[in-house]
Structure 1
Amino acid sequence: MKSRIATSLALTATLLVGCGSTPRPASVPPAPAAPSSAASPSATPPADACAGVIAQMTPRERLAQLLFVGVSPSDPAAALNVVRSAQVGGVFIGGNATNLLRDNALEPIQRAARWGLSVAVDEEGGRVQRIDQLDGPMPSARRLARTMTVEQVRAAGSERGRQLRARGVTVDFAPSLDVSSQPDDGPIGDRSFSSDPVKARDYGLAFAAGLRDGGVTPVFKHFPGHGHAQGDSHQGAVTTPPLSSLRGNDLVPYEAVSDFAGGEVMVGHLTVPGLTGGQPASLSPAAYQLLRTDYHFTGPVLTDDLGAMRAITASYPLPDAVLHALLAGADQALWSSGGNVGPVLDRLAQALASGELPAARVDEALHRVLPAKRAC
């Protein structure tokens, strides 16, 4: 998703300290080791903490938890209405207005959510940021990597995370793990930390760890890699190099994502030869299987914008795009255009009732979405 170009790339005084990179970000701790699967004969199987919560929901409410809906940043009343009436799982705040990010405007909206609410923005820095008018600008990912060490980027991410959290934001659709040498103003361009996949990995994970330190959930994007794709998915279909090429370059950063505790992944609208069979990755079961099996990611996965990017809208009405994404393996479907969620929920409810959308697929997604926002 594109945003306006920030008017300043100036660093605050606390961030203008040194430059360079390290082979591996020592400041980014690995996830805690998983407990041994060898249980003693007397061990009690762990209770399903989400089952009781899910049982409280109607089928329509369960489906609503799998939606991430755009809301107008200048209309808190409309945002409150969509959460209160539909009980969607998350809202996305785009645009330049800051009404929803000031004066605790998000507090009543969050209170209206019976099972918690993920509140997301795009806060990458550079031309993609939301709180620069409120808390000062942040440089682009490319500039951060050129002027800071990995440890300093983690500190910058932590400060931004604290600022976002103080304004009611809980999820940041950042960092971009895309590996790119495009010009700064390209579709990815300076949103990429580096054209070196190892450096992109290290700096991306450092920024994500900083956001997590600040209390915000990072979202790694755009799987399986937008940096070498031809085209802009905002404008139309986008094709990447073949999967065999991505594995040695664009996908390298995702080799470390499974060890990062507390993150999520966004799947892009990218057609990948040798993987997606002509479909965008966001609607391709093979893309989600790649992320789950080859890259061992077990956390929540959401789509890129299904409602405002022609790579999707040129071929699919929004309700069908959402259904296809969930069937393919997405846990949450995102669209920034907001509006009435009724037609989307009607389509999903019809598919659930007929068996077109298996109840087990909905349950699987809920068991990732609800724990991520501490709803169970």
Structure 2
Amino acid sequence: MRDEQPSRRHGGRNAGTRALLVFLAVGALLAALLHDPGTSVTGRPVAAPAPSSPSPEATTAPRPEPAPAPDPCAVAAGALPLRARLAQLLVVGVDPRGPADALGIVQRDQVGGIFVGGDAPGLLSGGALGAVRAAAALPLIVAVDDEGGRVQRVDQLDGDLPSARRMAADLSPDQVRALAHERALRLRDRGVTMDLAPVVDTSGQADRTVIGDRSFSPDPEVAARYALAFADGLHDAGVTPVLKHFPGHGNTSGDSHLGAVRSPPLDVLRTTDLVPYRDIDRYGDVVVMLGHIDVPGLTGGKPATLSGEAYRLLREEFGFTGPAMTDDLGAMKAVTDLVDLPDAVRQALAAGADLALWSSGGRVAQVLDHLEASVAAGTLPAARVDEAARRVLAAKGSC
């Protein structure tokens, strides 16, 4: 038994040595292969192994892509009850003589905006808007239509502003920018946040026609240049411009205040009234107002404000991502001859509007009741309401 022990110990050493040598050889081979997997340890090229499908056990599942961050404006809109979401899509006319009417509407209905029209702008003087804006749970749009010429609201307070046609005739674009900036500073000091201007329609019609001297020029390039200057002046003072009246009111037959109107066909508008909307990002953060215009080849006999095709044109061809607003749904016969206010608002929102305007005021609860019932019935898609509310809250800086 004692004679066997040395041979076992010797055999153990030999086995350990052999194992070490094998380990070193394998290591050298692996190192060579890792250094150049196409070359043997002798330097001779070796054929690449045929690819084989990994076994299910050896396959590593791809890591899932991280979920995109939620849109804060979609979250903010979704957090509002339905009626509050719908109210944010309304811009309602108020009595311009003082704050009582506006204060009641904002406190009671929390509308997204108010419109101050008329020629007795007591609401725009003496800080009267302060209490109205303070009553809003979310930032309040305070809109006026102060284009100049025959459409201006604060001339009794801040002096006369020339018409667009007169500006283009007498002033350079830089001078128009300065003029709009000065006007907007005064509007902002009065509590106004949005001016329903500039008009970008192209028109060579007589001054007192529906657009006429409200247009900078019949030349679309000139009209765009001056409209951009006016919009820049408003922007510089912190007032949101509204480009109007998409798809083009400058060459229509008739006046949409008085009844149905028709524009030239769509292919003609592409060379005239629609030209200023190209490269729309150059205007910065703006709202686009749609007019009550029947466009052959586009709206199928409807006013553009109620036509899904008109909103799709604005979004898809012109790439506009900001809020789209209707012209007045409560006082213009191109719409009121067709449909009552509550359903006009529903149709406009369902078609693609984000802000529904009526200057006549009142009827807010009735409109909201109708819109809530329409969402329940599916005639106003909830997804459309959410989309519109997201755009409006984003434009207000609420998210």
Q: TM-score, normalised by structure 2?
A: 0.82
Which residue is 1:23 aligned to? none
- 1:78 maps to a residue whose letter is D
Instruction: Please say if residues 74 and 100 of structure 1, whose CA atoms lie closer than 8 Å, have aligned partners that are also in contact.
Output: yes
**RCO higher in 1 or 2 (8 Å CA, sep ≥ 6)?**
1
Query: When you count helix as a share of all residues, which structure comes out higher?
Result: 2
1:285 aligns with 2:285: no
1:129-278 paired onto structure 2 within 5 Å: 129-278=152-301
Instruction: Please say if residues 301 and 332 of structure 1, whose CA atoms lie closer than 8 Å, have aligned partners that are also in contact.
Output: yes
In the alignment, the residues of structure 1 paired with residue 74 and residue 293 of structure 2 have an alpha-carbon distance, to the nearest angstrom, of: 35
How far the C-alpha of 1:54 sits from its partner, in A, is 2.4
In the alignment, the residues of structure 2 paired with residue 317 and residue 334 of structure 1 have an alpha-carbon distance, to the nearest angstrom, of: 14
In the alignment, the residues of structure 1 paired with residue 235 and residue 282 of structure 2 have an alpha-carbon distance, to the nearest angstrom, of: 14
How far the C-alpha of 1:42 sits from its partner, in A, is 8.9
Which residue is 1:4 aligned to? none
User: How many pairs are equivalent?
Assistant: 336
Which SS does the other structure have where 1:221 is aligned?
A: strand
1:44–1:104 distance in 2 versus 1, CA, 3 Å:
farther
How far the C-alpha of 1:43 sits from its partner, in A, is 8.1
How far the C-alpha of 1:56 sits from its partner, in A, is 3.8
Which deviations, in whole Å up to 9, do the C-alpha atoms of 1:144-201 show, x marking residues without a partner? Answer: 1111111111111111111110000000000000100011111101100001110000
Which deviations, in whole Å up to 9, do the C-alpha atoms of 1:221-257 show, x marking residues without a partner? Answer: 0000100000000000000000010001111001132
Identity %: 59
How far the C-alpha of 1:116 sits from its partner, in A, is 1.0
In the alignment, the residues of structure 1 paired with residue 73 and residue 240 of structure 2 have an alpha-carbon distance, to the nearest angstrom, of: 20
How far the C-alpha of 1:320 sits from its partner, in A, is 0.5
How far the C-alpha of 1:44 sits from its partner, in A, is 7.6
2:352 to 313, 325, 329: 329
Which SS does the other structure have where 1:265 is aligned?
A: strand
Instruction: Please say if residues 323 and 395 of structure 2, whose CA atoms lie closer than 8 Å, have aligned partners that are also in contact.
Output: yes
In the alignment, the residues of structure 2 paired with residue 75 and residue 107 of structure 1 have an alpha-carbon distance, to the nearest angstrom, of: 12
In the alignment, the residues of structure 1 paired with residue 207 and residue 80 of structure 2 have an alpha-carbon distance, to the nearest angstrom, of: 46
2:88 to 58, 65, 68: 65
1:96 aligns with 2:115: no
Listed as ranges, the gaps of 5+ residues in structure 2 are 1-63
How far the C-alpha of 1:58 sits from its partner, in A, is 1.4
Which residue is 1:368 aligned to? 391
1:300 to 290, 302, 323: 323
In the alignment, the residues of structure 2 paired with residue 111 and residue 323 of structure 1 have an alpha-carbon distance, to the nearest angstrom, of: 28
Which SS does the other structure have where 1:240 is aligned?
A: coil
How far the C-alpha of 1:295 sits from its partner, in A, is 0.7
Which SS does the other structure have where 2:92 is aligned?
A: strand
* Rg (Cα) greater in structure: 2
In the alignment, the residues of structure 1 paired with residue 226 and residue 365 of structure 2 have an alpha-carbon distance, to the nearest angstrom, of: 40
- 2:156 maps to a residue whose letter is Q
Which SS does the other structure have where 2:72 is aligned?
A: coil
Listed as ranges, the gaps of 5+ residues in structure 1 are 1-40
In the alignment, the residues of structure 1 paired with residue 101 and residue 81 of structure 2 have an alpha-carbon distance, to the nearest angstrom, of: 23
